[in-house]
Chains A and B, each alone.
Chain A
Amino acid sequence: MTTMQVETARRPRRAVEDRGSTSMSRKVLEKIASQVARDETDAGGTTGGFLGIGSRADFSARPEASVELAGNIASLRVTVGLPYPVPLRQATHELRERIAGRVTELTGVQVRQVDITVAWLRPRPASSGRRNLL
C-alpha cells in the first residue's frame, strides 16, 4: 500500500455540496455571449468613440451584450452589426440559437430570451485587413 492510498483511505470523500460553491458574475455571461457572437457568427460590434459618440462599426469587435438574471434563468439583450446584404431574420435566428446554446453549454445557465437589436449593416470587407501568415 502506497502513501497516497493510505491518505485517501483515511479521509473519506465529502459530499459535493460541502465542497464549496461557484458563483458567476453577470459580466461573465455578458462577455461569453458577446465573444460567442463575435467568434462563431457573422456579427460584429463597435469600437472607439467616447460615451457612444464617434464609435465605428467593426466586424472584429465584440458586440455589446447585457444580461438579466432571474435565478438560473437569463435573458440577454445584444446589440450587433451584421454584414449587408444577408437575410436578417435568418441571420438573427442563427445568432440567437448560437448564443443561447453556447451560453447554456458553457455556464449551465438557462437562456430564455435573446433580444437582438441590429445597430448597423455594412458590406463585408473583401479581406479582414490582416495578412495570413503561411
Chain B
Amino acid sequence: MRHHAGAMNRTWLIILGIVLLAAGAASILFSSGLMAQMTGGNLAGADDPVLSDGPGVLETLPASAVLIGGIILGLLGLWWILAEVPRRRAASSYRLHEDPARGITRCDPAVLAAAVEDDASSLPGVVSSWALLRGTAESPDLALRLTLNERADVQEALRRVRSDVLPNLSRALEVPLHTAGIALEVSGRPAQLGSTVESTGTVVY
C-alpha cells in the first residue's frame, strides 16, 4: 500500500559496500607488506612511522574544509533518512474534462476512494475497507484493503469485489482500471452488513 525507497537503498548500499571493500583490501595490502613487495619497495615514505610527532592529518587540512565535508556528509545522511519515510504517492486531483472554452471538471481521487470504500463496505462479510487511487484519470490505479470478518467467505467477497466494486469505479471514470491491488485482512469484529435485518414478523392489530 505504501512505497518504500527499496531500490535507492540497494544502490547506495552497493556503492558503500564497494568503497568499504576497496578500503579494506587496501589496508590489508599495506599492513601485510604485499603492496611494498609489489611496488618493489618504492613507495614514498614507506619506512616512516605512521604516528610521528608532526602535525596530524586533521591539523594539516584547513578547518573550513573539514567543516564543509562534515556538513555535506550530514546532509547526505539526513536526505537518506528522509527518503526512508514510506510514501503513499496518492494521485493529485483528477481532471475529467479540460476545455478552456467550456470549463474544467475536477474530481479529487479521495472522493472516488471514499465512494469505493462505501461500495466495498456494503459487501457481505466486510468489516471495513480502505482505498487509495493513484495514476491519472485516464489510467487509474486502485489499491484496496479489505478487512473481513473471520467467518466471511473470502472467495465470495473477492468475487463480489471483481464483479461489483471494480466495474463501478471504471464505470464512473469511463476507463478500465490500469491496475487494481487488493489486500485482505481478517478481523474478529462483526461485519457492517448484517447489523440490521428486515423484519418479517406478523403485525397484530
Contacts and interface: CB of A to CB of B under 8 A. Distances in A.
Nearest to A95: B105
B101 A121 contact: no
A84 B104 contact: no
B172 A121 contact: yes
A84 B174 contact: no
Contacts, number: 76
B102 A89 contact: no
A70 to B, nearest CB: 15
Interface string A109-134: 00011111111111100000000000
B173 interface: yes
Given A89-B97, A123-B118, A96 B111 contact: no
B107 interface: yes
Contact of A120 (B100, B101, B111, B172): B111
Contact of B114 (A86, A88, A90, A121): A121
Interface residues of B, number: 23
A86 B172 CA distance: 5
A67 B169 CA distance: 31
Given A85-B168, A87-B171, A88-B173, A122 B106 contact: no
Q: Which of B101, B118, B172, B173 has the most CB of A within 10 A?
A: B172
A34 interface: no
Given A92-B105, A114-B103, A116-B105, 6 more contacts: A116-B97, A116-B106, A118-B105, A118-B107, A120-B115, A123-B118
